[in-house]
Amino acid sequence: MFQAEPNNFRELRTTSRPDIILRMSHNEDTGEVFVGSSDAKVYQVNPGVENPEFIPLEGHTSYVMGLVDTGKYVVSGSYDKSLIWWNKETKERVRQIELAHDRWIRNLAITPDKKYVLSVADDMACKIWDAESGELVRILDSHIKITEQGFPNMLYAVAVSPDGKLVATVDRIAKIKIWDFNTGEELNELEAPKCYTWDPKARIHAIGGIRSVTFSPDSSQVAVGGIGQIGNVDHLGAAGRVELFDVSSGEKIHMFEGDDKHKGLVEQIIFHPSGKWMMAVGGDHNGWIQFMDLEKKEVIKQVKAPMHIHQMVLADDFKMAFGAGHNRLAVWTFEPEAAVEEKAEVSGEETTG
């Protein structure tokens, strides 16, 4: 079995775009991806070729902020408050729920068995939908709607544990809710307050919040990502920050922080299936990828990205990674360069240095 090593991680290809690619889902069978754009479209694209074609799917009217693959459908969520089910083969709209939420939809997730789609929005509700029928199954909604300073809260991200038993939701004021998936009961509330900066004097403005959340492969830990404390709330002028918690006890296990060259928001966290390391992606006006060793509890590698990355997906075998972000679609590999060259020689392709 292929063993992905952070030291082998390197960029293969970057495609320029006029838009911001905000979300992505990967079709393991075809190698293609669907991406959600700031131009309100969903695109189907093969990122593994030079000059890939972007095939548009039109139906939203604002930023596409969530995208998941159910196997049969791709489901997208948007700032226009709607959810759309797309037929992956015909690219047709199968279903559209116009007012799935009362405010902007921020993100989507899918259960490991792909039977349910979860959406979170600025109405501070996490909604669970039947992936086949589109019926609303349950609402999780104990996050506060207005902050203590009197400003609207925002619900940025949601994750389901690999065993399918737990849901985690995270918000603007750095609260983490852990829920029982089957009952909808709130089990615990955790906090990562250093991920939220409030300026009560000069700008009377807040920045940060927890932007990403994911569970460890054994479902025993939850990692959240955002940005550290900021001096000037008009800029993302602090290092990306990841905090790791024990789910059962709620205790913080460790905090990982990038250096001054890797500032900005942690938009996504991905655990390696072994549970030995994880990676975080994000950025400010620049982008980066960082790798964290969970046994040593330290950041072991930081890589500059060609753009602020909003989402990254990995192939099931962890050989390839695909990133979506500001004006770019990028491809990376964990395979050593010698292995890629050897495969190219066997297939009769030319390699370039």
| Helix-strand-coil split of the chain, %, nearest 5 | 5, 50, 45
β-sheet with 309-314: strand ranges across: 55-58, 41-45, 33-37, 10-26, 320-333, 309-314
Let me know: does 255 contact 266? Beta carbons within 8 Å.
Answer: no
Residue 318 located in a structural domain: no
Residue 260 located in a structural domain: yes
Residue 230: domain span: 183-312
User: Encoding tokens for residue 128?
Assistant: 């669970």
Residue 256 located in a structural domain: yes
Q: How many CA atoms lie within 13 A of 343 on its CB side?
A: 5
201 by Cβ neighbours in 10 Å (0-12 / 13-18 / 19+) ranks as exposed
Instruction: State the Cα angle at 230 between 38 and 22, rounded to 5°.
Output: 15
Let me know: does 77 contact 30? Beta carbons within 8 Å.
Answer: no
Residue 237 located in a structural domain: yes
Distance of CA 225 to the CA centre of its chain: 10
Residue 138 located in a structural domain: no
Structural domains of the chain, count: 1
Partners of 37 in the β-ladder: 21
Let me know: does 58 contact 75? Beta carbons within 8 Å.
Answer: no
Digits of tens for pLDDT over the chain (353 positions)?
688 999 999 999 999 999 999 999 998 888 899 999 999 999 999 998 999 999 999 999 999 999 999 999 999 999 999 999 999 999 999 999 999 999 999 999 999 999 999 999 999 999 999 999 999 999 999 999 998 888 899 999 999 999 999 999 999 999 999 999 999 999 999 999 999 887 676 655 667 889 999 999 999 999 999 988 776 655 666 889 999 999 999 999 999 998 878 889 999 999 999 999 999 999 998 999 999 999 999 999 999 999 999 999 999 999 999 999 999 999 999 999 865 555 555 555 544 33
Residue 28 located in a structural domain: no
> Whats the size of the chain, residue-wise?
353
92 by Cβ neighbours in 10 Å (0-12 / 13-18 / 19+) ranks as exposed
In the three-class reduction of DSSP (H, G, I as helix; E, B as strand; rest coil), residue 73 is classed as strand
- The CATH number for 191's domain is 2.130.10.10
User: Encoding tokens for residue 170?
Assistant: 């995270």
Residue 188 located in a structural domain: yes
Which one, of 116, 228, 122, 241, lies nearest residue 179 by Cα? 116
Task: Enter the pTM of the model.
Answer: 0.93
Residue 197 located in a structural domain: yes
In the three-class reduction of DSSP (H, G, I as helix; E, B as strand; rest coil), residue 231 is classed as coil
